[in-house]
Amino acid sequence: MAPPALVASFPPQVGAGCRVLVLGTVPSMRSLHMRQSFAHPHNLFWPFMGTLFDAGVELPYAERIARLHAAGIGIWDVLKQCERPGSLDSSIRAGSEVANDIPALLDAYLTIAAIALNGARAQQVFARRIAPRIDVRRSREIEVLALPSTSPANASIPRAVKLDRWRALSRWAASGVGAQGNPR
């Protein structure tokens, strides 16, 4: 196994009027190399965003982000940094996790009504390191969605089942974007 490398998150990609914040764990090695969230070619995040919000992988990265913002969706990670050999969440070294300041982001974007957690590790880190720091009143205003990981490492759930679960984001999409990404 490769020695652990210090892995750092990208800045939040959140636009004005953000309604739902999607949180991954921390960028994969491919994402870090490409300087794009969810960049592994077998990660289902962008294909799902294409189906739901016309923000698919066939578009340039900046356009995908712009379309997510237009739909009221922002993306970030639960971890600001950690030590990890390779890209698997299961390889994150215990004790090396430093959480992103999600509570401050929620205070800055009062329009955020939901947090979608991409996979089990993001859910665990959020519950342990972030949720207890969110103001009680603010936490009552936010629905937390535990979604299956879009990572290629999560092959135990069929793609159609994952997509069906990810359709929950459409509930918070901006009024101009429908469940399939088509204008209403």
Residue 67 lies in a domain: yes
Closest among 74, 29, 46, 30 to 174, alpha carbons compared: 74
Residue 128 lies in a domain: yes
Residue 5 lies in a domain: no
* CA 8 – CA 11 distance, rounded (Å): 9
* CA 79 – CA 25 distance, rounded (Å): 6
The residue segments making up the domain with residue 17 are: 12-78+99-172
**CATH for 126:** 3.40.470.10
**CA atoms within a 13 Å half-sphere pointing along the CA-CB vector of 52:** 26
Residue 157 lies in a domain: yes
Residue 2 lies in a domain: no
pLDDT at 174: 78
pLDDT at 90: 87
Q: How many domains does the chain have?
A: 1
What pTM was computed for the model? 0.92
Strand arrangement, sheet containing 73-77: 73-77, 20-24, 114-118, 143-147
Residue 94 lies in a domain: no
Which tens digits make up the pLDDT trace of 44-103? 999 999 999 999 999 999 999 999 999 999 999 999 999 999 999 889 998 999 999 999
